[in-house]
Amino acid sequence: MTAKPSLSIVVPVLNEGSNIVATLTALAPLRTRHVEVVVADGGSADDTVALATPLADLVISSARGRAAQMNAGASIARGDVLLFLHADTQLPPNADRLVIEGLTKSGRAWGRFDVTIDGSHLLLPVVATFMNARSRLTGIATGDQAMFITRRAFDAAGGFPDIALMEDIELSRRIKRITSPLCLRARATTSGRRWEARGVLRTILLMWRLRLAYFFGAKPDDLAPRYD
């Protein structure tokens, strides 16, 4: 019999003391099923590292930047499949089974979950619906959708590009040359805090402008200040 592929979850963090306990506690049932959890800290000035340490298998320090942190976590993770989880996002129940069985049965090398955006604004469900539909249509996934990828495909693609923004989109472009993504309909739930703090409509317009600018050749380093 062929052993099931092992799964590692990599969580990049920076000053996530208010969220990290809930995020990692939600992963505790997966750890009992031998899923590895690696937290990659980018130099937090709060108590993120102290709070994460007893709730993860490994907590490492990394150069700041989401791409650099995810690559650092991936470099020491032991799993055959890597799942990249934002600190304000929670996976659906049995996410480990969904990922491993989905990749095995489909023969694909990567994928993502549908997403629900948690918040009170009436437009957030609409935003999530369009995000999921756009991802199916284009084969491009975003970090909020908890991207997962086999170790072999991740290495073949060169990992996340070391850019200030759009690292998830660029990696999607590279990997979909290998296979199209497995789009799981089970939903990861991500926080709508940034959407609501910045204004939902304003954030929608900003993200579309940034993506269009990137599509037409703008450099991520030039776009990052506009996003921040």
Taken in order of first residue, the domains within the chain and their CATH numbers are 7-193 (3.90.550.10)
Q: Where are the alpha helices (DSSP H) in 183-228?
A: 193-198, 200-215, 220-227
pLDDT in tens, 112-164: 999 999 988 888 999 999 999 999 999 999 999 999 999 999 999 999 998 88
Is the separation of the CB atoms in 110 and 181 below 8 Å? Answer: yes
The pTM assigned to this predicted structure is 0.92
Residue 13 — φ and ψ, nearest 5°? -135, 150
Residue 3 confidence (pLDDT)? 60
Residue 114: how many other CB atoms lie within 10 Å: 20
